[in-house]
Structure 1
Amino acid sequence: MSSETPTTWPPGGLDFIVDTHVHFWDAARVDLYPHLAPSVDRGSLGVPAGADIGASYGPEDHRMNVEATAVGRTVHINAMRDPKRFQQEAEMLEVMRSRYGFPQVWIGKIDLSSPDAVRSALASYEKFPGYRGVRVLAVTDWSNAALDVLAESLVATGRVLDLGVHPSSATEAVRYLDRHPGLSVVIEHAGWPEQSDVSNPSTWRSAVEQLSACRPSPHVKISGMAMALQTTDAETYRPWIVHVLDAFGADRAMYGSNFPVDSAVVDYLPLGNVCSEVVAQWGGENAVRRVFRDTALSFYGPL
């Protein structure tokens, strides 16, 4: 890696970059984001002990982060806890889009308590212009019939699934995805390695290979790795990013900052520098264009 940190990223002369993984949240809305309350242990988010991510992250915060970059499109990813309140966040995001011009699109929360709850939530989302799909993570029962209804409904409506899967759940996730070959799905956070995978990444490496080969040909996000790696060292990131790219290819990989969660470990610009330099060394400017723009435009649609 170069010793000097460039002031803008990535290389390749892109007119704009797409950040596919940002969480806008209002810390004052503890009804929507109870995990931001000062008394809550943030360990479930994977951030370092004592790290403070309890502040609001809004349009002005994001604008300050991206002003030294070519980031011109942003995808908001749901970070609420209560699926019954999904419409309140949707309304908040649409106001934000109207006032500030971003996020260009967003991924919402889904209620998996029953097949009917899934159908109702998805129907309600369709009235919002910025809606592109839903997020599912921390699945404990992959046999839940609501998951299959969700996949079938997303395929029928042309919407997408952001899926959070830890390495320990990859085999069950692959079985689920294999049942829905027409589903447009992206695996979040490079297969979401945990801190226990850092010292022995073999399980994570196998999970990435499994997920990349399943029937829907999933996409993947190069995002969220700071939560596990907890460093800004570029050489530490390299083997993780390269393995993801080797498994999925640049046509199915896209960049996401995972801000403000990853801000507990790394600043916005250095994170982009690290990722773009590794991608450029792996596949040149063509790979950079795909990972930082083209794949996201193909997957999420017009931004």
Structure 2
Amino acid sequence: MADIIDPERAIIDPHHHLWDRRIFPLPAPGAYPFEKAISLSPLYLLDQLNADMRAGHNIIATVFLECGAFYRGDGPAELRSVGETEFVNGIAAKSASGLYGRPRACAGIVGHADLTLGAAVRPVLEAHLAAAPARFRGIRHSPAWDADPDVLGILQRNPPGLLADPAFRAGLAELAALGLSYDCWLLAPQLPELIAMARALPELTIICDHLATPLGTASYAGRRDADFAEWAGNIKALAGCPNVVMKVGGLAMPFGGFPSFMAEPMATAEALADEWRPWIETAIAAFGADRCMFESNFPVDRGTCDYATLWNAFKLVSAAASEDEKTALFSGTAARVYRLSL
């Protein structure tokens, strides 16, 4: 393993998952790349997360992001996702005991609710808050969609235009009314839809996940660099919405079609920094460090690198930033946006 860069720097990892997928079979040869990526970590719970957090970087806390795990097995369908929040709050309590080390895992929790319920989503949000009153911070209901179904594969679950749907926007308004934030995972071609929604709901805090997922696979293969200018223009327009912040990461997923995905041998931090630098630097220049936060997206991003290498890559890209900017990128923005008291 390479040496840890700037090992004392405090890091809040604002985006990771927990799951137990041991009952699912490993993907067959030729399976969709996302399945390959998650098959590398069929089990990712507190022990596995702790092992990553102790890999050398100074991780002080994390934020859990919904991933469809540990739902209730029965009861009203709209409330089953509350089971995930209940489970993760228990993991957070174990971590907060100090018996598992200094990092505070899942200090913030982002769950799932069906926002197409509109105003009727309020009881679901209240149930999440009751399940984790000290840690629940918001909802992710991802609108990710593309006209080419091969882009998302098994994750192509939504109709197009979800962010403009009146019922969905009514659900988003309920988040704002309760002081909760909205995490949005979407694809780069959908950025104009997010810009329009952010302008329509200025009172809602919106976190754009994974740099809005630049594409480079399926029908976008070979176009990623050519599409960069369009992505960059939309990122600049999105940054003009003061209620939006950006999660800087997710480029290790398969969707970007970067050479580092599933490479053998695994890419070094230096190689990843060079590969990702244009997207990372463009987003930080547009939003400013105080509205950007580096994220791990683990264990999904394990398809490209290990946890220590990922954070080394981020530190290399941000090496020229000021001390205040580094503090914002690695911990300050996440602590403020997710309202973490550590």
The alignment's TM-score, normalised by the length of structure 1, stands at 0.86
Q: 2:45 aligns with which of 58, 66, 80?
A: 58
Q: Quick one: distance in 1 between partners of 2:175 and 2:210?
A: 21
Q: 1:79 aligns with which of 58, 61, 67?
A: 67
Confirm or deny that 1:184 pairs with 2:205. yes
The amino acid across from 1:286 in the alignment is D
- List, as ranges, runs of 4+ consecutive aligned residues in structure 1 with deviation greater than 3 Å: 36-43, 46-51, 81-84
Partner of 1:106: 109
Pick closer, same or farther for the CA change 1:48–1:278 going to 2, 3 Å.
Answer: farther
Structure 1 residue 179, shift from structure 2 partner = 0.8
Aligned length: 287
Q: Quick one: distance in 2 between partners of 1:62 and 1:297?
A: 19
SS in 2 for 1:290: helix
User: Does the 8 Å contact 1:162/1:187 carry over to 2?
Assistant: yes
Structure 1 residue 145, shift from structure 2 partner = 2.3
Structure 1 residue 113, shift from structure 2 partner = 3.6
Q: Quick one: distance in 2 between partners of 1:6 and 1:87?
A: 40
The amino acid across from 2:140 in the alignment is R
Identity of aligned residues (%): 25
Greater relative contact order (CA < 8 Å, ≥ 6 in sequence):
1
Structure 1: unaligned runs, 5 residues or longer: 31-35
Q: Deviations over 1:213-240 (max 9, x none)?
A: 13x4310011101112352422111111
Confirm or deny that 1:94 pairs with 2:115. no
Structure 1 residue 278, shift from structure 2 partner = 0.9
Q: 1:249 aligns with which of 278, 288, 294?
A: 288
The amino acid across from 2:109 in the alignment is W
Q: Quick one: distance in 2 between partners of 1:26 and 1:284?
A: 40
Q: Quick one: distance in 1 between partners of 2:183 and 2:3?
A: 31
Structure 1 residue 70, shift from structure 2 partner = 0.2
User: Does the 8 Å contact 2:109/2:137 carry over to 1?
Assistant: yes
The amino acid across from 1:94 in the alignment is N
Q: Quick one: distance in 2 between partners of 1:272 and 1:52?
A: 22
User: Does the 8 Å contact 1:21/1:223 carry over to 2?
Assistant: no
User: Does the 8 Å contact 1:118/1:146 carry over to 2?
Assistant: no
User: Does the 8 Å contact 1:48/1:264 carry over to 2?
Assistant: no
The amino acid across from 2:245 in the alignment is H
Partner of 1:6: 3
Q: Quick one: distance in 1 between partners of 2:21 and 2:307?
A: 20
Q: Quick one: distance in 1 between partners of 2:177 and 2:119?
A: 16
SS in 2 for 1:301: coil
Q: 1:157 aligns with which of 162, 175, 178?
A: 178
Pick closer, same or farther for the CA change 1:106–1:230 going to 2, 3 Å.
Answer: farther
Pick closer, same or farther for the CA change 1:121–1:51 going to 2, 3 Å.
Answer: closer
Confirm or deny that 1:134 pairs with 2:139. yes
User: Does the 8 Å contact 1:77/1:135 carry over to 2?
Assistant: yes
Q: Quick one: distance in 1 between partners of 2:2 and 2:324?
A: 21
The amino acid across from 1:73 in the alignment is A
Partner of 1:33: none
The amino acid across from 1:213 in the alignment is G
Q: Deviations over 1:40-93 (max 9, x none)?
A: 8974xx648577335111111111111111011000000118874211111111
Structure 2: unaligned runs, 5 residues or longer: 72-76, 97-104, 145-159, 261-266
Q: Quick one: distance in 2 between partners of 1:105 and 1:262?
A: 20
The amino acid across from 2:141 in the alignment is V
Structure 1 residue 5, shift from structure 2 partner = 4.1
Q: Quick one: distance in 2 between partners of 1:199 and 1:91?
A: 42
Structure 1 residue 203, shift from structure 2 partner = 2.6
User: Which is further off, 133-142 or 102-111?
Assistant: 133-142
Confirm or deny that 1:144 pairs with 2:165. yes
